[in-house]
């Protein structure tokens, strides 16, 4: 007990002595010149300003490295949005329209054929430009509507394909194309890959990205669907984010009539030429095609496969896989 009171008294003496320190040892005051006082005042103001900035900063759980990483990530997202001009892709739309677009986006990437879809941009010698859909075939070929790569007596100068895969959202330029075959009566055009490109359509060597798309996402036009007019068909459309998404169409009419419906997929065109229609299990039913009169029509997948076999017989196409696909026995099975 004595020990307790001894330490208690000692603590009281210490605290009392600390309070007497300023009186016994007053701080020294230096005589500063007006210039020195001004510098000191400015320094103190700067310190106060820095403290206020620190207090205003949002507290992020974790280390400083995490905070810096999140800041860089946020800045990168803002820069990307600014460069794509898609900070708010639904600006100007009503709330109902926005909700409908977001619901569509939820089923955007559930169909693998979406990655075999391309936007084909063709420029002509007279300076005109046409845009259409295209479908990636095996060996780097594309099928699209004939009227989109031919314009009366004006020949195409160049065509470029823009695509996407499951590793990136917006579609980018992947290849420069050239016309391999054209049939105005059928309304079909077959394009082949002339050169690979970077995302800005500058020519470059083939990359892993190209190989991934070309080897994994081509559409087999020799696998015909069992139903020519199923109750539900799927087709691509272009979102405000410059990416492909899947739209679901419940057929209340013939598929030919659906193909002839007006669309706003491409500005300046009433119809979505080259657009493909697919079954639930991903088989191509046909595409929207047209000859030089621009009247849209549904070109069935069998017409596309027959056209490829015809080109093979005429030795325009010499792709090895066509030897087996176009064999008489296989052709009979597809009929």
| Residue 252, pLDDT score | 76
171, 185, 236, 249 from 239: Cα distances, Å: 11, 32, 10, 17
| Residue 261, pLDDT score | 86
Partners of residue 159 on adjacent β-strands: 122, 177
| Residue 258, pLDDT score | 85
Contact of 182 with 245, CB cutoff 8 Å: no
| Residue 60, pLDDT score | 35
The label of the residue with tokens 């300076």 reads 127
Partners of residue 162 on adjacent β-strands: 119, 173
Secondary structure of residue 167 in the 3-state scheme: coil
Which parts of the chain sit beneath pLDDT 50? Answer: 14-30, 56-90, 105-110, 332
| Residue 37, pLDDT score | 65
Secondary structure of residue 270 in the 3-state scheme: coil
| Residue 18, pLDDT score | 44
CA atoms within 13 A on the CB side of 230: 19
Count the neighbouring beta carbons within 10 Å of the beta carbon of residue 29: 6
| Residue 59, pLDDT score | 36
Contact of 300 with 170, CB cutoff 8 Å: no
B/e letters for 224-259, b = 16+ CB within 10 Å, e = fewer, are bbeeeebeebbbbbbbebbbbbbeeeeeeeebeebb
């Amino acid at each position: 007990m004595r020990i307790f009171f001894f330490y208690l008294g000692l603590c009281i003496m210490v605290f009392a002595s600390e309070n007497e320190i300023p009186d016994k040892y007053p701080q020294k005051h230096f005589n500063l010149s007006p210039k020195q006082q001004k510098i000191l005042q400015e320094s103190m103001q700067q310190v106060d300003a820095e403290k206020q900035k620190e207090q205003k900063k949002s507290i992020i759980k974790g280390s400083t490295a995490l905070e810096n990483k999140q800041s860089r990530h946020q800045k990168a997202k803002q820069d990307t949005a600014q460069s794509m001009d898609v900070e708010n892709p639904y600006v100007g739309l009503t709330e109902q329209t926005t909700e409908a677009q977001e619901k569509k986006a939820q089923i955007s990437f559930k169909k693998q054929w979406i990655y075999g879809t391309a936007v084909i941009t063709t420029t002509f010698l007279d300076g005109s430009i046409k845009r259409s859909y295209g479908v990636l075939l095996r060996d780097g070929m594309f099928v699209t509507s004939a009227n989109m790569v031919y314009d009366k007596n004006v020949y195409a100068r160049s065509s470029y394909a823009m695509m996407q895969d499951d590793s990136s959202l917006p579609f980018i330029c992947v290849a420069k194309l050239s016309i391999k075959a054209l049939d105005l009566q059928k309304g079909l055009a077959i394009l082949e890959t002339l050169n690979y490109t970077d995302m800005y359509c500058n020519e470059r060597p083939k990359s892993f990205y190209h190989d991934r798309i070309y080897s994994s996402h081509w559409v087999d036009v020799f696998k015909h669907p069992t139903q020519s007019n199923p109750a539900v068909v799927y087709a691509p459309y272009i979102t405000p984010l410059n990416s492909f998404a899947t739209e679901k169409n419940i057929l209340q009419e013939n598929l030919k009539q659906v193909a002839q419906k007006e669309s706003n997929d491409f500005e300046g065109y009433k119809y979505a030429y080259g657009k493909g229609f697919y079954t639930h299990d991903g088989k191509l039913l046909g595409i929207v095609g047209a000859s030089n009169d621009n009247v849209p029509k549904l070109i069935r997948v069998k017409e596309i496969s027959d056209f490829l076999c015809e080109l093979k017989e005429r030795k325009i196409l010499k792709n090895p896989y066509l030897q087996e696909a176009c064999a008489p026995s296989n052709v009979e099975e597809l009929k």
